[in-house]
Amino acid sequence: MMFRMIMRRLGIGVVTLWVVSLLMFAGTEILPGDVAEIMLGQEATPESLAALRGKLGLDKPAALRYLEWLGDMATFDLGLSLAGHSGTGGGGATIEVLIGARLQNTLLLSSIVAAISVPLSVTLGLLAAMFPTSLYDRTVTFTTLCLVAVPEFFIATMLVLILAVQLQWLPSIATMTDFESVWDMLRSLSLPILTLCFVLLAQMSRMTRAAVLNVMSSPYIEMAILKGVPRRRIILRHALFNAIGPIVNIIALNLAYLVSGVVIVEVIFAFPGLAKLMVDGVQVRDMPLVQACGMIFCATYVVLILISDIASIVSNPRLRHPK
């Protein structure tokens, strides 16, 4: 039964990827202009535009181009960047090369933020659930509510204004160069790390608190409370294990956000990540590059959600053995 549920979710993930590929291709098709117009500029003639579009394969029907692109994606062949960097007007740089270094930068930033925010937010949420209606709980609830209500670009702007402009403690631009030490790397990436940590801490700590308190309202928990079992022991030994499924879902969603939802943060700090690469691809109408980045983001979401679903099934006997 559990294997069947996992395979069903895997099938749903494959269908989701296919639907997203349709939407991604259709969305990039309706954008005004194309890479040929960007490359040739305002002085382009209709003849030169037609020649370049034929060289890049843009003169083919949309349905044929979609099928060719989908077949390449299915075989993990991302193809060539139409804008490219070879200077020949016909691409020349493979998308794997363009994405490789940027993906490493995004994964590095995401790993640092996850290593800081996940254990800290789970701890804050557990402590808030352990002492409900206390001053600590009210402080955490109020602070996280304020952070959730504030968009990340405002947090990033305020951090730049205070820490980079006024105090001049940290650099306002997050560069990825050959760092002499780990401290130099962390200092260079400190502002985007702080911005993302604030965003994730607010969301995960609130949802962790809500998940644990939801389990605390169960009859067996109430019986343990009536028997005089200490609240700390109830939460750590009983409620936490039953709330692992929702907490894992929370963590998976926020980790997926780290990889695919950091467009604003990467643009503000000029961080050379995958989201910034996709924005640059939109500006030059490099649609194969934009589509490849979009599919990587979607695949990340699907994989992480699949992992969280499996964790929920394994940790919950009612899902492992449904009636």
Two tokens, residue 229? 């079992």
The CA distances from residue 124 to 130, 186, 190, 234, in Å, are 10, 24, 22, 17
CA distance 312 to 253: 14
Q: Are 201 and 121 in contact (CB under 8 A)?
A: yes
Two tokens, residue 248? 């894992």
- 23 phi and psi angles, rounded to 5 deg: -65, -40
CA distance 43 to 40: 7
pLDDT at 89: 42
CA distance 237 to 242: 9
Domain ranges of the chain: 2-74, 98-283
298-317 per-residue burial string, b: 16 or more CB within 10 A, e: under 16: bbbbbebbbebbbbbbebee
pLDDT at 41: 66
Single-letter residue type at 81: S
pLDDT at 83: 65
pLDDT at 120: 92
CA geometry: angle 123, 129, 130, nearest 5 deg? 85
Which residue positions in the chain have pLDDT lower than 50?
A: 85-91
136-147 per-residue burial string, b: 16 or more CB within 10 A, e: under 16: ebeebbebbeeb
CA dihedral (131, 136, 138, 141) positive or negative? negative
CA distance 57 to 61: 9
Q: How many CB atoms are closer than 10 A to CB 73?
A: 18
Q: Which fold has domain 98-283?
A: MetI-like fold (1.10.3720)
Q: Are 121 and 208 in contact (CB under 8 A)?
A: yes
pLDDT at 278: 85
pLDDT at 86: 40
pLDDT at 85: 44
